Amino acid sequence: MFEMLRTVMQNLFSRPATRLYPKEQREPFPSARGHIESVIENCIFCGLCQKRCPADCIVVDRAGKDWNLDPYRCIICGVCVEVCPTKAIVMSTYFRKPARMREPLTYHQEERGRPPKAKPGQDPGEAKDQM
């Protein structure tokens, strides 16, 4: 009891350990695996990522030039990022923000050089810009 008393008294007179998320946000570690994003313009639809993904959450539609990701199944292992020959998948250090709907993302490659487009209603963005 007295050992604990010392600790709690120290606590009372020191700053709380709490990180006041969302008011204060810590910079993620540089190597942090937050979520993956596609740089769809780089994709060559080789299908490697689909083959190696342990959670089967990528579907590459070569014909329709669609790169489908179920971000709500992705376990953020980073294998796809590693195997992609063209660096068409990048790992963001920010975690994916919570959502009210659970629908897969489809990246469609219009033609090279155009920005990626997500399905309406979906925001693959980061938690950072949410709060």
Partner 1 sequence: MGFISTARVKSPWIMHFETGSCNGCAIEVFAALTPVYDLERFGILNTGNPKHADIMLVTGCVSFRAGRVLRNLYHQMPGPKAVVAIGVCALTGGIFHDCYNLAPGVDKVIPVDVYVPGCAARPEAIIAGTVMALDRLAGKAGPPNIAPGEPRRGLEEGRVVEIAPGNSDK
Partner 2 sequence: MIGRTIATYGISPLWVTLATVVAAPAIGGLLTGIDRKLTARLQNRVGPPIWQPFHDLVKLWSKERITVNQVQLLYVYAHLFLMIASLVGLMLGQDLLMIFFIFAFSSVSLILGGFSVRSPYSRIGSQREIMQLMAYEPVLVLMAIGIYLATGSFFVHEIITSGNPLLYSLPLVFAAYAVILVVKLRKSPFDLSTAVHHVHQEVVKGLLTEYSGPYLGLIELANWYELVFLLALGGLFWATSLWGALLAAAVLFLFQVVVDTVSARVTWAWMLKFVWTVGLGLAAINIVWLYM
Partner 3 sequence: MPGRTVIPFGPQHPVFPEPLQLRLTMEEERVIDAVPALGYMHRGIEQLAQTKDYAQNVFLMERVCGICSFMHALCYCQSVESLLGIEAPPRARFMRTIQAELGRLQSHYLWLGLVADACGFESLFMQAWRNREMIMDCQEAVSGSRVTISTCAIGGCRRDWDDGVLQELTRRLDDVERSMDAIAPVFFEDPLVKQRTVGAGIITKQEATLLGAVGPVARASGIVEDMRRLGYAAYDELDFKPVVETSCDSYARMIVRLRETFQAINLIRQALKKMPAGEVLNKWKGTPEGEAISRVEQPRGELMYYIRSNGGKNPERLRIRTPTLSNIPSLVKMLKGSRLSDVPVIALSIDSCISCTER
List the single partner that 23 binds among ligand SF4, partner 2, partner 3, none, CB under 5 to 8 Å by kind: none
Contact 100, 60 (CB under 8 A): no
Q: State which of residues 9, 44, 75, 90 lies at the interface with partner 3 (CB under 8 A).
A: 75
Question: Quick one: 6 or 100, whose CB is closer to partner 3?
Answer: 6
Q: State which of residues 8, 63, 101, 131 lies at the interface with partner 2 (CB under 8 A).
A: 8
CA–CA dist 60, 16 (Å, integer): 48
Max CA-CA distance within the chain? 71
Query: Is residue 14 packed enough to be buried (19+ CB in 10 Å), middle (13-18) or exposed (0-12)?
Result: exposed
Told to check if 111 binds partner 3 by CB under 8 A, we report no
Binding site residues, partner 2, CB under 8 A: 1-2, 4-5, 8-9, 11-12, 14, 16-18, 20
